[in-house]
């Protein structure tokens, strides 16, 4: 049986679709838990600065993270939405694969899940 971690949005107190985010500004490292709407709002406010600046290639493309195909869902560096992360977690637990409680999945695990998921879908 796994342990479920509940996160609350630091701004609104909501516990729906909340993720931890890290901001690095000058010498400060800021960690904040935000619900998806607040995160999209933050990205929208930062967009002019992101567009004008140089984005490190090791982080997700923030330009496309603001909106995903009109769905408004924000994804992470693995490209997973909150719903997909929950599906991945359940899949891994069903297979007896240990997964971190912080939703930071190894790329190899994500790729394995995607490959098996694609193989299960009818062609």
Domain limits, the chain: 1-69, 75-123
CATH architecture of 1-69: 2-Layer Sandwich (3.30)
Q: Which is more confidently placed, 104 or 42? A: 42
The strand ranges marked E within 1-114 are: 18-25, 28-35
pLDDT of residue 33: 92
pLDDT of residue 56: 62
- 90 three-state secondary structure: helix
Distance between CA atoms of residues 50 and 54, nearest Å: 7
The mean predicted confidence, pLDDT, of the chain is 77
């Amino acid at each position: 049986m796994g342990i479920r971690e509940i996160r609350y949005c630091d701004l609104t107190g909501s516990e729906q679709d909340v993720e931890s985010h890290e901001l690095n500004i000058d010498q400060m490292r800021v960690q904040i838990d935000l619900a998806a709407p607040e995160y999209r709002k933050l990205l929208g406010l930062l967009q002019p600065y992101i567009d004008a600046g140089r984005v490190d290639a090791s982080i997700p493309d923030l330009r496309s993270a603001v909106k995903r195909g009109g769905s408004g869902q924000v994804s992470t560096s693995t490209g997973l939405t909150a719903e997909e992360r929950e599906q991945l977690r359940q899949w891994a637990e069903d297979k007896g694969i240990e997964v971190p409680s912080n939703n930071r999945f190894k790329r190899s695990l994500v790729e394995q899940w995607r490959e098996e998921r694609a193989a299960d879908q009818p062609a």
